[in-house]
Structure 1
Amino acid sequence: MLFAGVFVLAGCSGGEEEASGETGDGDKLKIVAAHNQTSPENPYQVGMEAFKETAESADANIEVEVHAGTLGTSESELVEKLKLGAADVVLVSPGFMSKTGIEEIDLFALPYVFENYDHWESVVDGEVGETMAETINEKSNNDFKLLGYWSAGVRHYYGKKPLESMADLEGMKYRTQTSGAVANYWEETGAVPTSVAWGELYQGLQQGVVDAAENSYPYFVQQNHHKTDNGKYITETGHDYTTRFLLINGKKFENYSDEQKQAIMDAAEASVEKERAEVNEQEEAYKQQAVDDGAEVNEIDREPFMEIAEPIQDTRAEEIGVSDLLEKIREMK
């Protein structure tokens, strides 16, 4: 796999020393690592704990403080803290990264761009993933250095009725992105993209504000969405093998000692392996829990869904200048 150790950073542009990441007390380096999920069982927390354990066990005098939602439950808060120095390592999604001006990231969030987990891993851990890491670093002016690619599972439909064909989506109020390529895709299927905050989605499903939603098993089952009338039918559409970005402030990273840099990169690699394994394990466990709780799961022919996705992928890739990377991803299927 490709991790931070093989990525070449742009030259350091300096920056003032901030509250976190300072050295002191015998050159002790304190790293504040944060994600936006509050559940201690969430794969994000498992991955961050692996990062902490590996970094602190190295002979580099590092202390890692993990925050599970306590520095902010929105990615915008976390990234702002990363830029200002109040956090050193954070986890973000493609949707938010594209809002920072790095639109190329959208490539990893397009519906059906990945065929399965093996395909996803071969892409993010290979040449395409390395190219994207360099783009993140360059376009952020070294504010963001990618340490590794995490997963948030494979996303499926869940709603008030099972999907037997695409026609079942016609007119359905569907909680998903309401703008951009993802929204365009679901509109093409006949659904009506509808915005509901994640923390309000259980109530939205329960009260019929939306007819359906989409996410991976660990996330929507932990929130009991499958226990609502509008969430108990799960159709395994597998439309998004999700990518999450583990970032560190690149300017501060450049000022760490060689031993500290290596310890952080080793910790990132350990966190990637642990978090991905935890996602895979929880996918199976929470699917079984959903079934045990009375949810109904069915499969569907994904080919018609993929056919609609392809021209949307082409259009968006051309808009953001990554048509060559899209072609490489397709060649790797």
Structure 2
Amino acid sequence: MRVNRRTLLAGLASLGLAGCGGSRDRLFGTDTHPADYPTVRAFRHFGDLIAERTQGRLRLTLFPGGQLGAERDTLEITSFGGLDLNRVNLAPLNSIESLTIVPSLPFLFESEAHMRRALDGEPGRRVLASLEPHGLIGLAFYDSGARSFYNARRPIRTPDDLRGMKIRVQNSDLYVAMIRSLGADATPMDLGEVYQGLVQGVVDGAENNWPSYESGRHFEVAPYYSLTNHVMAPEVLLMSKVRWDRLSPADREVVMESARDSVPYMRGLWDARVASAREALLAAGVRANLVDPAPFRARMRPVWESFVTTPAQRELVAAIVAMGEGSA
């Protein structure tokens, strides 16, 4: 039976507001990814840990697959307490908290290990803490993979290979600026429209991680996959501050520890998903090529200057860069 989104959201909001004077044992969460996606499975694991550690007193009801709407919509509902928990990408947070822009910067992270080290450390804690004034408690970061370019024309080995191409991007000013700095034409487009856009020539290519490249069947019409690994922006697991404030100190500790403990579980699922997608795609004839990131990174200076504009952002960038392999 299909969920009536408006009725369900109204019901959840009334539950949240009705609970302001006391406690309830049910936590409601949402994730736009499908039920078998690593973030959703990790979200459920997080809920299982909470239930186990509270002897079943706190339990999670999760709505995956975008049942409650797009991330921007559910994020607003979470901030005023209509939803307890949410898993979102960094992009919809960029407009409300400038520090969340930093982990999304192109070519910020030298490797996946660098990204995880920074997000697990003080830089990551700083970003999560910055969300509290906006009605959100940042619990943990989940992986969203390394994004690379794919297209229907040719391998991308240097920025000049992108010149003149129409590249689909998320509806993000940062991503648009990145594509333009590389000499290509940025075309914002919903993910569900990309396959048809590639077929019809509306776009020549796009950029995403191995699992999304596979699951969207984009490789069928854009077989050149160039490993630029240009963005490694994470996902974020959030809790409504309204709901957080109603938890006891002991329950807050359980929620925070359970969130942290779900991260290695999620990363194991993610790494396996990436490996299986890569193997399947190469077997299907995808032509993948390695890329020297240096010429691409050199083009990012004006992009960084445009989006890193506050002292707090600059300090965060410096802290993350200092944790890279080249600084060890």
TM-score range, shorter chain: 0.7 to 0.9
Shift of 1:197: 0.9
State the partner residue of 2:92: 96
State the partner residue of 1:262: 253
State the partner residue of 2:263: 272
Q: Hey, what's the Cα distance between the residues in 2 that align with 1:196 and 1:315?
A: 23
Shift of 1:86: 3.0
SS of residue paired to 2:130? helix
Shift of 1:327: 1.2
State the partner residue of 1:116: 111
Amino acid at match of 1:148: A
- Quick one: which of 148, 158, 180 aligns to 1:156? 148
State the partner residue of 1:10: none
SS of residue paired to 1:322? helix
- Quick one: which of 11, 34, 37 aligns to 1:42? 37
Note closer, same or farther for the CA distance 1:83–1:181 as it changes in structure 2 (3 Å cut): closer
> How do 1:61-210 and structure 2 match up within 5 A?
61-99=57-95, 101-138=96-133, 140=134, 143-160=135-152, 161-177=154-170, 180-210=173-203
- Runs of 4+ off more than 4 Å: 20-23
Structure 2, unpaired ranges of 5+: 1-12
Structure 1, unpaired ranges of 5+: 1-16
State the partner residue of 1:212: 205
Count of paired positions: 309
Note closer, same or farther for the CA distance 1:176–1:209 as it changes in structure 2 (3 Å cut): same
Q: Hey, what's the Cα distance between the residues in 2 that align with 1:179 and 1:153?
A: 18
**TM-score, normalised relative to structure 1:** 0.86
Shift of 1:202: 1.2
Q: Once the two structures are superposed, what CA deviation does each residue of 1:137-173 show, in whole Å capped at 9, x if it has no partner? A: 13x1xx1000001111110111112113221101100
SS of residue paired to 1:153? coil
Q: Name which of structure 1's ranges 309-318 and 129-138 shifts more when overlaid on structure 2.
A: 309-318
- Quick one: which of 307, 320, 326 aligns to 1:329? 320
Query: Do 1:20 and 1:30's aligned partners in 2 also have CA atoms closer than 8 Å?
Result: no
Q: Once the two structures are superposed, what CA deviation does each residue of 1:57-103 show, in whole Å capped at 9, x if it has no partner? A: 1125111011112433411121122134332110122211012x212
Q: Hey, what's the Cα distance between the residues in 1 that align with 2:245 and 2:99?
A: 24
RMSD across aligned positions (CA): 2.2
Note closer, same or farther for the CA distance 1:105–1:209 as it changes in structure 2 (3 Å cut): same
Shift of 1:321: 4.3
Q: Hey, what's the Cα distance between the residues in 1 that align with 2:90 and 2:241?
A: 19
Amino acid at match of 2:292: D
State the partner residue of 1:287: 278
Shift of 1:311: 4.1
